[in-house]
Amino acid sequence: MGVVQLVDPRERLLRKRHKPEQIVSILSEIQSDLDAGLSVDQALRKAGLGMSTYYRWKAQQQAPASAESLRLRELETEVDRLKYLVAELALDRRMLQEALGKKP
């Protein structure tokens, strides 16, 4: 059995906010520990992270990927539509300049 570490109750009140880059780093560190053969409990203890926090972060990291890809597709469609409109307007401008006898 492992060594039990006692946690000061005051430390639990001091919640630490992590930046997204830190979360990704911590999750990848935990994943490498899991790949190395550590159990989830051991990897989380080594990272100083609670079980609920780990699974919440893991779910948050997986969920935005699908939402971001959907948003990316929408933006790409919008860009294509706008490019088409710009091309049409450039053609109309050129035709009008030719009709007026000006050089484009």
Residue 59 in domain: yes
Q: From residue 32, how far is each of 12, 36, 45, 62 by CA, in Å?
A: 26, 6, 14, 17
Residue 2 in domain: no
Position 65 confidence tier, pLDDT thresholds 50, 70, 90: low
Closest CA to 58 of 42, 45, 40, 73: 40
Q: Which domain holds residue 72?
A: 18-100
DSSP characters over 39-88: -HHHHHHHHT--HHHHHHHHHHHHHHHHHHHHHHHHHHHHHHHHHHHHHH
Note the pLDDT of residue 36: 94
Residue 35 in domain: yes
Domains contained in the chain, number: 1
* 10-61: pLDDT as tens digits: 555 556 788 888 888 999 999 999 999 999 999 999 999 999 999 999 888 8
> What is the value of pTM for the model shown?
0.50
Tokens in use for 98? 């030719």
Residue 11 in domain: no
Residue 7 in domain: no
Residue 10 in domain: no
Q: Report the mean per-residue pLDDT for the chain.
A: 85
Note the pLDDT of residue 51: 93
Q: From residue 102, how far is each of 14, 89, 96, 97, 99 by CA, in Å?
A: 72, 17, 9, 5, 8
